[in-house]
Amino acid sequence: MLKKNINRKELANKIYKNVGFSKNISSKIVDSFFETLISEIIKTNKVKISAFGTFSVLKKKARIGRNPKTKIEAKITQRKVVKFKASSLLKENLNKND
């Protein structure tokens, strides 16, 4: 299976082809979507997109980690990470073709 990442430009191109907006407007739509998503995650710590999934913020504690190559221990600071949980509808669609 070939791993294929999609970037903002490709998303804008798909909107351009499928919806018919200009490339400039399609690019602004994609940028605006991600800016809105990021700002809402920061503000509310949780964003649910119906039939797609939920983005939520987790707080990880500080801990001691180890570099697997050099075996040197290092302190990993506490931080926030974003977790994504797929909706059941998305999971069903992913597994439909199996």
Q: Is there a domain that residue 37 lies in?
A: yes
Q: Is residue 38 located within the same domain as residue 56?
A: no
Q: Which residue has the tokens 């439909």?
A: 96
CATH of the domain at 61: 4.10.520.10
The neighbour count for residue 25, using CB atoms within 10 Å, is 14
Q: Is there a domain that residue 84 lies in?
A: yes
Is residue 12 within 8 Å of residue 29, measured between CB atoms? yes
Instruction: Tell me the C-alpha to C-alpha distance, in Å, between residue 97 and each of 14, 53, 55, 94.
Output: 23, 20, 26, 7
pLDDT exceeds 60 at position 1: no
Number of domains observed in the structure of the chain: 2
Q: 15 lies in which domain range?
A: 7-44
Q: Is residue 78 located within the same domain as residue 96?
A: yes
Q: What is the pLDDT of residues 25-68, one digit of tens each?
A: 999 999 999 999 999 999 999 999 999 999 999 999 999 999 99
Q: Is there a domain that residue 66 lies in?
A: yes
Q: Is there a domain that residue 61 lies in?
A: yes
